[in-house]
Chain A
Amino acid sequence: MNAWEFWKKGFDIWENATAKYLETVLRSPLVLGPAGAAMSAVMRSKAAVDKAQAEMLAAMGVPTRRDQERTLHALNQIQSRLIDLEERLADLQSSLDARQGEAAARGGDGPRAN
């Protein structure tokens, strides 16, 4: 075993042991509780600042960032619904074509597509 392989083996042992120890630490409620509280506090502060800014803009009659996001989201939803309708129309057209084909095969009048 050369020096590098020896070092690598030692490193692997250290890495495994450290990872196990850190897992214990990161599962501890003593760490998770304060970490969660700190992150939540930062997020609540950011949400409060965003809300205050939005209220100020709304008071001036200016569309807020949220207004624009809602509008864009609504447009995306409309796009999806249009595609839904296209799919349904295509399904209807297919079944109509099939029925016309069957009727033609029987020699009778089938339903007509416009």
Chain B
Amino acid sequence: MGAVDDPGARETRRWRNLIGLVSRPRPVVGATPADAVHHENKWRLLRYRARPEGLAYETPVVLVPSLINRHYVLDLQPGRSFVEFLVARGHDVFIVDWGTPGDEDRYLSFDAICEGYIGRALRVAAQHSRRNKAHLLGYCLGGTLAAIYTAAHPERVASLTGLAAPVAFHDGGMLTQWTNTPTFDLDALCSATGLVPWQVMQGAFQMLRPTLPLSKAAHLLDRAWDDEFLDGYLALETWGNDNVSFPGEAYRRYIDALYRGDDLVAGRFTLGGRRCRLEAITCPTLAVSFAHDNIVSQTSVAQLIEKIASPDKTLLTLSGGHVGAVVSRKASEGLWPRLAAWWAAHDHDAPAPAVTSPAPAVTSPAPAVTAPAPATLPKAARRRKPAR
């Protein structure tokens, strides 16, 4: 019930909706049916139930969200869910739900999260494919983690997708400047808090554009007559205010090695004692940046494509912001079909049509080729004991 043509009716509805905003039922988020196929510490791996017709593609897709946000941003609400879209297209979709860290997770290292947890998620998902591989998509910090993991352990990665994933951290951004302020004592913050409070990080993101809450309020007033917009707005606000704190030890390494040292691009970053060089990534890789992203710059995203040795790499630049471009209605007509087409084209080991981005900041078309889809769920080549 979106469009209201009569200006009088629109005004009536606008004010009625605004007055009833507080008591308006909160939209259901993360509603696509899924089963937890693996639990470890606080995180779990969810596998979404396949559509009734069965899977259309052989290679599963593993989605890795950012550590500080809830996973359901990729499954926001029915009709506005990337996951729901993929499931409807016949993809076998897994997602990492990081859960809520406990106080003891202050000692959880960056390596344990990246190498241990992402590696496990990938291996569990890959069991469901004859290729024993899975597509890996990381969103925001999840993309950084995915790129680091792929650089160190490329074996089971069928393709890598970085969605607004920062790779180069010395990009002149405000976050880099703040974390490199000499008076900012990183060790004191981590020692004092253990888990770096989500309020600190959310506050930092809000300070990137301090007028954003006012702008959002003005936009809300403008569109309050539209029930569909209101539901989407509330769903996004629910997600935006449902953050998790960051394990201190992992945060220390994240800021020190990446924001301060820019070690990943410099080739100095190590994972589990093994040096991670982006040049070691040879699988098909897609990097997506957003033109109005005020958190992750296009330059930072483009470095992934610049550095890797893969002959099949694509840089896609779309309009929109860091979150809006991923969850909006527009995404269901632009970003989502392109990602689904990318995975479809890389469903088999045979080389896909290569679309190489010649330079950063150039928008390359996503491969439009869709691989022929098998009609039924492929049997796993070998099945291990089901994870708990």
Contacts and interface: CB of A to CB of B under 8 A. Distances in A.
Specify whether A and B are partners.
Answer: yes
Interface of A: 4, 8, 11-12, 15, 18-19, 22-23, 26-27, 29, 32-37, 39-40, 42-44, 46-47, 50, 65, 68-73, 76-77, 79-80, 83, 86-87, 90, 94
Contacts of B181: 29, 32-33, 35-36
B174 A27 contact: yes
Given A23-B174, A69-B106, A80-B112, A47 B192 contact: yes
Interface in B52-67: none
A80 B188 contact: no
Contacts of A18: 211
Contacts of A71: 104
Contacts of B106: 69, 73
Contacts of B40: 79-80, 83
B103 interface: yes
A76 B211 contact: no
For this complex, into which size category does the number of interface residues on chain B fall? 35 or more
Contact of B107 (A23, A70, A79, A87): A70
Interface in B173-206: 174, 177-178, 181-185, 188-189, 191-194
Interface of B: 40-41, 102-108, 112, 116, 120, 123, 174, 177-178, 181-185, 188-189, 191-194, 207, 209-212, 214-215, 218, 222, 382, 384-385
Nearest to B222: A8
A18 B40 CA distance: 46
Contact of B385 (A12, A39, A86): A86
Given A15-B215, A76-B104, A33 B183 contact: yes
B120 A83 contact: yes
A40 B185 CA distance: 5
B184 A73 contact: no
B211 A40 contact: no
Nearest to A44: B188
Contacts of A12: 215
Contacts of B183: 32-37, 40
A61 to B, nearest CB: 21
